[in-house]
Amino acid sequence: MKTNPVKRALKEGKPQVGTWLSLESIFATRFMARVGFPWLTVDIEHSPVSWETAAHMFAAIADAGCVPLARVPRGDHDHIKRVLDAGAMGIVVPMVNTVEQAKAAIAAAKYPPVGDRSVGGAIHALNFNAAAGDYFKHANDEILVVLQTESPEGVENAEEIYSLPGVDAIFVGPNDLKFQMRNFTEDGSDPTPEEFEAMLQRVLSAGKKTGTPVGIHTMTVEDCQRRIDEGWQFLAMASELKMMVNEASRVVKELGLAAESDLAKY
């Protein structure tokens, strides 16, 4: 059975930079899977990607030798089960604020006796170049489990969450974390850049203390490299949508045409 190289690289302390897919395009996915990123995450939380299209995207990524991940809408058993049965080689679970939520997500990704993942399906084994029986035997060792820290509550519980068996990496969604921090400002405004950076550094410190790789979404190569230098390991670089819009906007600007700004945050 094919192993998960991203999971192994993270265990070895090697940074892994990938990107987000949100266009629901198998055509675009086939190209993105070949540009050199070690992993690609199909975003099923904030995009209109359907379950069937997601399965085709996972297959296109895996067939190109890249690792397909899925960001599920939330850490429910049925969502995690569906993406893994559809061939994702790992999950990214949003808004994990408590130890209980973390334990539930981890359990849903692992077959008994480690977890409570339901046994079924056949497509998943294809992406690992395995027979179904071999997949059921080895999947617990190869599925990558990434939990997202996106709120001050999640940061408060970080060390306990990050220490749980089965957590392979942590990922910060900066926009959500910043918006959730509004609940702790007097007028509901954004935190200051200094306050926000201090919160990010708490995540990084918790990851280093527990020995758990932590990562973050970045928008520029410079920012991505800076975070790697700080010790962040699981990093996303924009998205295929953001890259397309950025390049199109650059061309339009150079042609002297009127250009819209801020079309895509990610």
Residues 21-38, mean pLDDT to the nearest whole number: 97
Give the confidence band of 8 by pLDDT, cuts at 50, 70, 90. very high
If we measure between CA atoms, which residue out of 182, 253, 175, 255 comes closest to residue 216?
175
Does the pLDDT of residue 103 top 90, yes or no?
yes
Does the pLDDT of residue 15 top 80, yes or no?
yes
Does the pLDDT of residue 157 top 90, yes or no?
yes
Catalytic residue, candidates 46, 56, 77, 138 = 46
Does the pLDDT of residue 149 top 90, yes or no?
yes
Give the confidence band of 262 by pLDDT, cuts at 50, 70, 90. confident
Contact 105, 147 (CB under 8 A): yes
Give the confidence band of 43 by pLDDT, cuts at 50, 70, 90. very high
Return the axis-axis angle of helices 77-85 and 51-63, rounded to nearest 10°: 50
DSSP label at 118?
A: P
Contact 88, 69 (CB under 8 A): yes
5 phi and psi, to 5 degrees?
-65, -30
Looking at residue 39, what is its pLDDT? 99
Does the pLDDT of residue 259 top 80, yes or no?
no
Does the pLDDT of residue 199 top 80, yes or no?
yes
Does the pLDDT of residue 260 top 80, yes or no?
no
Rg (CA), the chain: 18
Looking at residue 163, what is its pLDDT? 98
Model-wide pTM > 0.75: yes
Does the pLDDT of residue 258 top 90, yes or no?
no
Q: How many CB atoms lie within 10 A of CB 137?
A: 13
Looking at residue 81, what is its pLDDT? 97
Q: What is the pLDDT of residues 120-138, one digit of tens each?
A: 999 999 999 999 999 999 9
Q: Rounded CA gap, 263 and 254, in Å?
A: 18
Q: Is residue 46 among the annotated active site residues? A: yes
Does the pLDDT of residue 261 top 90, yes or no?
no
Does the pLDDT of residue 144 top 80, yes or no?
yes
Looking at residue 188, what is its pLDDT? 94
Is the dihedral angle over the CA atoms 227, 17, 219, 102 positive or is it negative?
Answer: negative
